[in-house]
Amino acid sequence: MFFIDPHVHMTSRTTDDYEAMRQAGVVAVIEPAFWMGQPRTRVGTFQDYYSHLIGFERFRASQFGIKHYCTIGLNSKEANNEALAEEVMELLPLFVCKEGVVGVGEIGYDDQTAAEDKYYRLQLELAREVNLPVQIHTPHRDKKKGTLRSMEVALEHGLDPAMVIVDHNNEETVQDVLERGFWAAFTIYPHTKMGNERMTEIVKHYGPEHIFINSAADWGISDPLAVPKTAQLMLERGIPAETVHLVTYQNALAAFSQSGQMQESDWLNDRLIDQSLKFSGNSILRGGQTPKIEADPTIIR
C-alpha cells in the first residue's frame, strides 16, 4: 500500500526517517513552511528557508525514493512581528509559483490576533491570485472558534472550499468543516492533536469523504510513520482497504494536485534511487560511504 504524508516537516528530521518512511510505503510528502521553534529576526532567514524547501530538501527526499513537495507561507506565530511580516509578504510571490510548490501554507491563526488576521487575509488573496490550494493551520487554543473563523474568512475572500485544506482537526471541528465543503485534515501527533485510535473512530463515524491524515512530524516528539501506522490500525479495526486508501493517499492527492504541481505519475514513473547524484556539488553521503543505486523495482529486463 502506498501512502502520502501531506504535512511533515522533513527539514527537522533525519535520513533514517526518510529510509523508514520509504520502507513503510510513503511515496510522497508535503512540507509546509512553518515556525522553526524560535522566532526568526531577519527576512533573509525566511528567504533561505524557502529556498531550502524547494531545493536541497527535495533532493534529499529523492535520495530515498520519496517525492517532496511543499507549501509556502508566513506562519501565524511570526505574523505577529509586523515589521518582519511585511518584508516576508514581499518574498512570497517570488516562491509560490516555483516547481514543487503545491499550495500557500501553513497559514491561519495561532492566538487569533489582529496581526494574524491581517496576514492570513493577505495570503488568502495571494492564493486566489495564483490559483493555489490553501493549507490552514488551526489554533491549539480555542480551536473551534479559530476553525470557524478560518473558514468564514476564506469564504469572505471568495475561496472555493474545495481549494482549502483545514488542518489539525479534532472531534470538535470535523463536522463543521465537512458541512462547509472544506477538506478536513487530521494530524496524528502523540499526546496533543490526535491519536490514531481516535482517528479510526472518526473515519468509522464520518467515512472517508474529504478526510485525510498526516503526521506533522517536526522537531518535537512526533512520529514520521504516523500515516502508515494509522492505516494499519484502521485495517485491523475493520475499516475497508478502499477507505484507508482514500484517507491515507487518494484524498490528499486530489486536494493538492489541484496545484498542477503534483501528479501520481511523479512517483509511479520514477522510483529510481541514485545516491551518487549531487545538489549544487553536495551529496548526502559522508566519509566515503557507498552510494545506493536502486532501479525501479517494477521494471523487468
Quick: pLDDT tens for 111-149.
999 999 999 999 999 999 999 999 999 998 999 999 999
Segment 191-211 shows an average pLDDT of 94
Cell of 86: 511585511
Q: Are 58 and 100 in contact (CB under 8 A)?
A: yes
Residue 299 is predicted with a pLDDT of 55
Which residue's C-alpha cell is 522537531? 219
pLDDT > 70 fraction of the chain, expressed in percent and rounded? 98
Contacts of 33 (CB under 8 A, 6+ apart): 49, 50, 53, 70, 71, 72, 73, 74, 75, 105, 106
Given strand 67-72, what is the order of strands in its sheet? 3-5, 26-32, 67-72, 101-108, 134-137, 164-166, 183-187, 211-214
pLDDT at position 296: 61
pLDDT band at 192 (very low <50, low <70, confident <90, very high): confident
At 297 the pLDDT is 56
Measure Cα distances from 64 to 25, 85, 248 in Å. Answer: 12, 35, 20
Average pLDDT over the chain, rounded to an integer: 95
The average pLDDT across 90-116 equals 97
pLDDT for 74 beyond 60 = yes
Q: CA 164, CA 253: separation in Å to the nearest integer?
A: 13
Q: State residue 9 phi and psi, 5-degree precision.
A: -100, 80
pLDDT in tens, 21-55: 999 999 999 999 999 999 999 999 999 999 999 99
Lowest mean pLDDT among 158-162, 176-180, 251-255, 282-286: 282-286
- Cβ distance 219 to 250 under 8 Å? no
Q: What are phi and psi of 174, to 5 degrees?
A: -60, -40
Tens digit of each residue's pLDDT (9 = 90 or more) over 247-299: 999 999 999 999 999 999 999 988 788 999 999 989 998 887 888 898 765 55
The whole-model pTM stands at: 0.95
Residue 37's φ and ψ, nearest 5 degrees, are 105, -20
Please check the confidence at residue 300 and state whether its pLDDT lies above 60: no
